[in-house]
Structures are given as C-alpha cells and as structure tokens.
Amino acid sequence: MSESFGDTATAESDRTTTGGTTADGPTTAGETDERVREEWTQFSFQGEPKLAVEDLDVYYGDDHALKGVSMDIPSESVTALIGPSGCGKSTFLRSLNRMNDRIKSARVAGSVELDGEEIYGSGTDLVELRKRVGMVFQAPNPFPKSIRENVSYGPRKHGDIDKSLLARLTGRDDSEAERELVERSLKQAALWDEVNDRLDDNALGLSGGQQQRLCIARCLAVDPDVILMDEPASALDPVATSKIEDLVEELAEDYTVVVVTHNMQQAARISDQTAVFLTGGELVEYDDTEKIFENPESQRVEDYVSGKFG
Ligand SMILES: Nc1ncnc2c1ncn2[C@@H]1O[C@H](COP(=O)(O)OP(=O)(O)OP(=O)(O)O)[C@@H](O)[C@H]1O
Ligand SMILES: [Mg+2]
C-alpha cells in the first residue's frame, strides 16, 4: 500500500498566492482570476493507482489543449471529469488509451501509466491497450450488424472466439463460448432481459438507450480493466439515463470507470471522485466528489458547480 501523493508544498503552489483566490474579481467569462494550486489536485487514496497521469500536455497543432495535467485514478471506482465545453475533458479521456494517436494534428507529451506501465512507450501494443482500456462514446455507435455480432465482434477480432470454417471442420468451433459471452456481457450491461429473444435482429433497430447499453456490452465483452465513457447518457431521455447511471455504479465494483459528464447532478450521484477542468485545459481541482460539490477549495470550481458559469 502506498499513498500516491506526497504532501509537501512546492514552489509551484507558492507562486499561486500572489494572484489571490478572488482578489481580481470575475473575468468576462464569469471566472475569478485565481491561479491553480497544485495541492488542490493532489487527491490521496489507498492502494496503487490504476492509471497514473503525470505532467500530460496535449497540443492540436499550436493549440495547447491540455496543460500539465497530473492525476492518479484509483481502481474499481467511478471518476467523473467535469468542466465547461472546450476545457479538454474528451482530450484527457482519449489520452488514457491513446485514442489521440488517431488525430493527425494531436501531439502528446508526458506520461500515463496503466498498472505502473507506461502506455506512451514505443513498444505499446495499441490493440491490447484498447482492449484493456475500452471506450464508450457520447452517441451510441453500434455496428449495422446483429445484436449478437456487436457483442462478439471484439472477442472474435482478438481471436478469443473462433467460428471460422477451419474451426468448424476441426471441431473447435466456439459457438457455445460465443453464446455464453454474449449472454454474460448483455446481462452485465443490463440489456439481456430486453433483447434475449431477438439477438439476431439488427442492432440499429434498438432504442437509443438500448443501443448505448449494447455499446457498453460490446466494450465489456473483451474483458477490459478500465472503461472510459464520454458523456454516455447525454443523448438519452431521463429513463434511459438513469439506467446508464445505475449501470455505471454497478460496473465500478469490478472495473475502473472514468466518465465525462456535463450534468452536475449526475457526477454527484454516480462518482466517487471528481476532477474539475476549467477553461484553458487545466485540471483545477480533484478530490472526493462530496468535497468538490460541497466545499471545494477553488472559487472557480465553487462557481462552476453551483452553476454560476459554464
Ligand atoms: N480533433 C481536434 N483537432 C483540433 N482541435 C481539437 C480537436 N479536438 C479538440 N480540439 C480542441 O481542444 C480543446 C479541448 O477540446 P475537447 O473536445 O477535449 O473539450 P471538451 O471539454 O471535451 O468539450 P465538450 O464539453 O464540448 O465536449 C478545444 O479547444 C478543442 O477545440
Ligand atoms: Mg467532449
């Protein structure tokens, strides 16, 4: 067991006292001109971090979208990322499984460790990384295939399930394993009861909320450690949203969930700890969710969570 952060004050935080927390009053954006204090983002917890982010910068061309973000994420819990539009939440989330690699103009500097291993090394197997760190997007994006195939696609691609002609001819066909996997994943995603009688129907015939749970099932089917979710419920109605919220809380018993949301109540309801990013791509405060919502250190965070701006 080790505490993940030291508690020594740094020169960096001394610098911040000169700006004062509220001395300069609100800016045109409605934010107070306070400086970020390093200790506000030093969230301590028991055990080793699942993900350890150190001094992460992300640039899109000349645009500096994330600035020196350091943040340790505990395992088997829900971490919420909140902040106004454009503050870098999606950029941060994508940096956790190197999805930013797919964006031509993006450049990443700094370090991200998964279970103590650097993911930004040149030797990282990106397919394996994204299997361990899965992602669910804002808009449900099932493949235009059957419900069953959507779930089994990943394991088949990774070679965990083989239904090829050769496999069939040699008696090593994995149809039974596939059936079990599809059932388990759909149950985990709280969708099984609604679709078990139509697994061969096209997934695009499902409702939006069902499609999103199918995408979660697809993500779970490859047995990840970490699930990244970028506003997974923002396109859904209140009933479907509450199903996703319940599901996220349940998943955190076995998985490490990192979820971006614009919905303060949702972050407060479902997360264990909350990281607040504010305009300019800085992580401003990171702590227990209750602390962030009830008694944050930063005036800007206080203004943001109480709805004064953003
Ligand atoms: N593919 C891209 N190419 C160029 N710039 C980008 C790209 N993606 C994001 N950016 C820029 O990086 C900054 C952070 O964007 P990001 O999408 O991470 O914000 P966000 O917090 O997720 O916002 P939102 O809440 O609106 O989804 C913004 O200034 C955005 O314009
Ligand atoms: Mg976003």
Q: Give the strands of the sheet with 117-118, arranged side by side.
A: 63-74, 49-60, 106-114, 117-118
pLDDT at 10: 38
pLDDT along the chain (310 residues), means of 10: 39 37 45 76 94 98 96 97 96 97 96 97 94 95 97 87 69 80 95 97 96 96 96 91 94 97 94 94 96 95 84
Give the residue, by CA position, lying nearest to ligand 1 atom 22: 90
Give the residue, by CA position, lying nearest to ligand 1 atom 2: 60
Q: Does domain 40-143+222-305 have CATH number 3.30.70.2200?
A: no
pLDDT at 310: 56
Exposed / middle / buried, residue 162 (Cβ in 10 Å: 0-12, 13-18, 19+)? middle
Q: Which residues line ligand 1 (CB under 6 A)?
A: 60, 63, 65, 83, 85-91, 103, 105
Using a CB cutoff of 5 Å, list residues around ligand 2, an ion: 90
Work out the number of other CB atoms within 10 angstroms of the CB of residue 308: 14
pLDDT at 279: 81
pLDDT at 137: 93
The tokens describing 81, both together, are 């990322």
Per DSSP, what are the bridge partners of residue 78?
A: 257
